[in-house]
Amino acid sequence: MRQAYLDTVDKNPNRPTVQATLSYVTRTATNLVLNLSSIGNGDNCLIIGFYKGYGDNILLTPPIPLSTFPIDGTNYTANTIFGSGSSIGNGFAVYKGNTNNNITISGLSRGSTYTFYALSFDSVTNTYLTDPSAIQNRNTQR
């Protein structure tokens, strides 16, 4: 699978090579604020959120693996109300844009764990940086 990714990267000059940077800011019972400090070297960033289950944690990395990465050429709709954006594998698009700032995600369940991934992408071709080793590694936030 790793080789297939590299073959795709080598053939697509529009694919970003530097991933977006995401960090946890704060959480209330049903909202949380994430800080997108860099969109990487694509011209946009897609943030995907996953519901993990019980436990009041925000994860910015695995343990939840993406069951499906965004598909190149696909235009996803994001919505900061969790679960209202496009479904991507076992998660939902919660933000799509090119502004480095704080992003408030609402519609969360109290006492639940969520994981968020930020992926740099080219918005003209909808080409996503989906290399698993490029996804930001962060610690669990409580």
Which pLDDT value is given to residue 9? Answer: 46
Please give the full DSSP string across 11-79, using - where no structure is assigned.
Answer: H-TTS-SS--EEEEEEE-SS-EEEEEEE-TTSSEEEEEEEEEEESS-EESSTTS--SSPPPTT------
Chain segment 111-141, per-residue pLDDT in tens: 777 888 888 999 999 999 887 655 543 323 3
Q: Is the model more confident about 116 or about 59?
A: 116
Q: Is the pLDDT of residue 59 over 60?
A: no
Claim: this prediction has a pTM higher than 0.85: no
pLDDT band at 66 (very low <50, low <70, confident <90, very high): low
- Ramachandran area for residue 107 (φ above 0: left; ψ -120 to 50: alpha; else beta): left
Lowest-pLDDT choice from 27-41, 60-74, 99-113: 60-74
Domains of the chain in sequence order = 2-134 (2.60.40.10)
